[in-house]
Amino acid sequence: MQGEIVEPAPLEPGTLRVIPVGGLGEVGRNMTTFEIDGKILIVDCGVLFPEEHQPGVDLILPDFAPVRDRLDDIVGVVLTHGHEDHIGAVPYLLKLRADIPLIGSGLTLALVEAKLKEHRIQPYSLTVKEGQRESLGPFDLEFVAVNHSIPDALAVAITTSAGKVLATGDFKMDQLPLDGRLTDLREFARLGQEGVDLFLVDSTNADVPGFTPLERAIGPVLDQVISRAERRVIVASFSSHVHRVQQVLDAAHANGRRVALLGRSMVRNMTIAADLGYLHVPEGVLVDYKKSGDIPDDKIVYMSTGSQGEPMAVLSRMANLDHQIEVGEGDTVILASSLIPGNENAVYRVIDGLTKLGANVVHKANAKVHVSGHAAAGELLYCYNILQPKNVLPIHGEYRHLAANAALAIDTGVPAKNVFLGEDGSVFDLKDGQVRQVGQLDLGFVYVDGSTVGEITDADLKDRRILGEEGFISVIVVVDAATGRVISGPEIHARGFAEDDKVFDDVKPKIEKALADAAHNGVRDTHALQQVVRRAVGGWVSRKLRRRPMLVPLVIEA
C-alpha cells in the first residue's frame, strides 16, 4: 500500500485510527492524529525548514487536510516538547480554530504561547507534568518524563477503549543529564507490564550504533575552546537549546567573559527559560547586545542563531558581511548543533565563508561541541526490551531512520508483521491489540511564503528554480488583427544570460516566419500565436545556447 493512494473505509466504533500527518520520511513537520468514536486528538504540530530546491519558502507545514473539515471534533493538541519541528505549526492550526486546547509542560507551553502572541492568538492551554493523568473525551492521557536536548520533554501514553498507545516524542536516555531529569524507564516498564498495543517511537538516530554521548561531556570542551580563544567567541545553536546555552553561560563565566544573545528568537526563548527557572544565569554574565561593543574582544561571547546555515539567521549574515559584527582574524566561531539532513551544503558554505574571513571555526566534525538529543540504537533496544510492545510504528525521521528503527524492533522479538513502515498520510487502525494499515492519504507540503500560506505550489517552486538556474526571456510581438502580419517586433529581453542580447537577433527571423506560417494557416487567436512564439524561441535556445529558460511570449493585436 506504500505510496499508493487508498481511501480508508469509514472508521468503525471502538477502533482507534492513527494517521502520521507529518514527520515520516523527513526530519520535521511532526504531527500525528488519533481518532476514536468521532473525536480527534493531535500529538505535536511542527514545521519543516526548506531546502535549497525550495527557493523563497520560509516554512513548510503539515497538510491539515485530515482535520480541516473536522475542527470541532478535535479535543486537544498534546505538545511533547518545545522544538520548532514539534510546535512551529501550532499558530497555523489555531488560525483555523483558535480555541483548540493545547496540552504540554510549562516550558513547552511558554514557548508556544510566545509564538502565538506574535500571531495575536490567545490559546486555551493546560500545563501538565510527568506523572499527571488527564482525560480528553475518549482519550485517557498519562505523561512520562523523557530526556531530550530541551528541558521539560514528555512522552504521552494514550489509552482508549481500543488499546494503549505510547508516543515518545523526541527522547534519549542520557544517564547524567544536566538538569537531573532522566527518561523515566520505571514508567516505561510499568506501561510495558500493562501492555502497550502500539509504540510510536523516535527514529532520528536509529541508524547510529551504541548510545548517544552524555550532554555534560560538551561543557569541558566549550570551556577549553573559549579559554584558548584570542578574541571574540561566537557560538551558534538552535534558539531553543537551553542546555547548550547554559553550558556557554557557564564556560564564559568561568573564563571571565560576558555573553550577549543575538537573534530575536534566541533572546525571546532564553528570557522565557530564565524566567521559568530552566536557565540559570550567573550574576553579571549577560550583557545587552547594544552595549557589547564597549567590552574588549577577549572578554565577550556572542550566542547566536544560524547553526543550520539559514540565509537570514545571524551566523549566515556574518559570513556574508551583512551583520554589525564583522568576523575577522583571531575570532572563534563554534557551531554547537548537529546538521539537519538537507542543510549540509548551506552549513558548509557558512563554515567556508567564516574561515575565509580568518575565523577559527569549531564544529561537530573537528571537536566534541554537540551531542544529539535523540536515542541511538542501543537506547532504542533497551526501550523495546522494557516495553515489549505488540505493534511498532517508527516515526520522526527520514526513511532510512524509520527502516533502521523497524529492524531494531524485529531484532528484539516484535513480529515483523507487527512492525509498520509508514509515510505521511498512512492510515492505521488499532483494535483488540491488532494494527492494520487501512489506507494511504494523498498529503502534500504546505508552503509558507511571506504572508501567504498554502498558495505556493510545487509548480511555482519549479518556476523559481528555472528562473534561478536557466534565466528568463520575454518576447513581445505586435501583429495585424486582420492579417496576422507582424507590425512591430519581435522585441526580446533576456535576464540571467551571459550572452549579449544581440545573440537573439538570429532567432527573430525564425519567430517572424513561424508567425507568418501560422497566419497563412488561419491562426488568429493570440494565445495560440504566443504558443507559436514559445516553440520557436524555446527550440532555438535549446539548440543554440543549451538552455531551458522560462519563456514569456506576449502577442498583441493592433
Output the pLDDT for position 345: 73
70 and 205 housed in the same domain: yes
Pick from 362, 395, 430: which residue ends a domain? 362
Residues contacting residue 203 through CB under 8 Å, at least 6 positions apart: 394, 395, 396, 397, 401, 402, 404, 405
Residue 458 lies in a domain: no
Determine the pLDDT at residue 130. 96
Phi and psi, residue 59, nearest 5° = -145, 160
The verdict on residue 354 lying in a domain is yes
Q: What is the pLDDT of residue 318?
A: 83
Is residue 527 one of the residues assigned to a domain?
yes
Please check whether residues 344 and 383 belong to one and the same domain. Answer: no
- pLDDT in 10s for each residue of the chain, 558 residues: 566 788 898 999 999 999 999 999 888 899 999 999 999 999 999 988 765 656 566 678 899 999 999 999 999 999 999 998 899 899 999 999 999 999 999 999 999 999 899 889 999 999 999 999 999 999 999 999 999 989 999 999 999 999 999 999 999 999 999 888 999 999 999 999 999 999 999 999 999 999 998 988 888 889 998 999 889 898 888 888 888 899 999 999 999 999 999 888 888 999 999 999 999 999 989 998 888 888 998 899 999 876 454 555 777 788 888 888 888 888 898 888 766 666 667 778 888 888 888 888 888 777 777 788 899 999 999 999 999 999 999 999 999 999 999 999 999 999 999 999 999 999 999 999 999 999 999 998 877 766 566 556 666 556 556 555 667 777 887 877 666 677 777 777 777 665 666 777 777 777 777 777 777 777 667 777 778 777 877 777 777 777 777 777 777 777
Residues 146 and 287 reside in one and the same domain: no
Q: Would 261 be classed as within a structural domain?
A: yes
**pTM listed for this prediction:** 0.81
Residue 438 shares a structural domain with residue 490? no
Q: Is the dihedral of CA 201, 206, 211, 217 positive or negative?
A: negative
- Do residues 416 and 294 both lie within one domain? no
Listed residue (160, 117, 148) closest to 30, CA to CA: 148
Please tell me whether residues 56 and 41 are part of one structural domain. Answer: yes
Looking at 314, 341, 362, which one is the last position of a domain?
362
Report if residue 2 sits inside a domain.
Answer: no
Please, is 299 exposed, middle or buried when counting C-beta atoms within 10 Å of its C-beta (0-12, 13-18, 19+)?
Answer: middle
38 lies in the same domain as 148: yes
Say if residue 63 is in the same domain as residue 176: yes
233 and 341 share a domain?
yes
- Which residues, 6 or more positions from 38, have their beta carbon under 8 angstroms from its beta carbon? 73
pLDDT value of position 309: 45
Rounded to whole angstroms, what are the CA distances from 281 to 218, 219, 284, 352, 374? 18, 15, 8, 33, 26
pLDDT of residue 372: 86
**69 & 178 share domain:** yes
Q: Which residue has the cell 558554505?
A: 349
Chain centre to alpha carbon of residue 84: 7
State how many domains the chain has: 3
- Helix (H, G, I), strand (E, B), or coil: what is residue 439? strand
How open is the CA angle 145-148-153, to the nearest 5 degrees?
40
- Alpha carbon of 381 to those of 172, 245, 409: distances in Å? 12, 31, 7
Q: How far apart are the C-alpha atoms of 390 and 195, rounded to whole Å?
A: 8
d(CA 207, CA 123): 38
| 247 domain residue, yes or no | yes
Is beta strand 133-136 parallel, antiparallel or unpaired with respect to 139-145? antiparallel
In a domain, 459, yes or no: no
Residue pointed to by grid coordinates 492494520:
436
Paired strand residues for 477: 555
- CATH number for the domain that contains residue 175: 3.60.15.10
Cβ(445)–Cβ(57) below 8 Å: no
**Cα separation values, 155 from 97, 185, 307, 399, Å:** 25, 11, 27, 22
Residue 542: give the domain boundaries. 471-557
Q: Within a domain: residue 281?
A: yes
Q: Grid coordinates representing 14?
A: 471502538
- Which among 331, 362, 393 is the end of a domain? 362
Furthest-apart CA atoms within the chain: distance in Å: 87
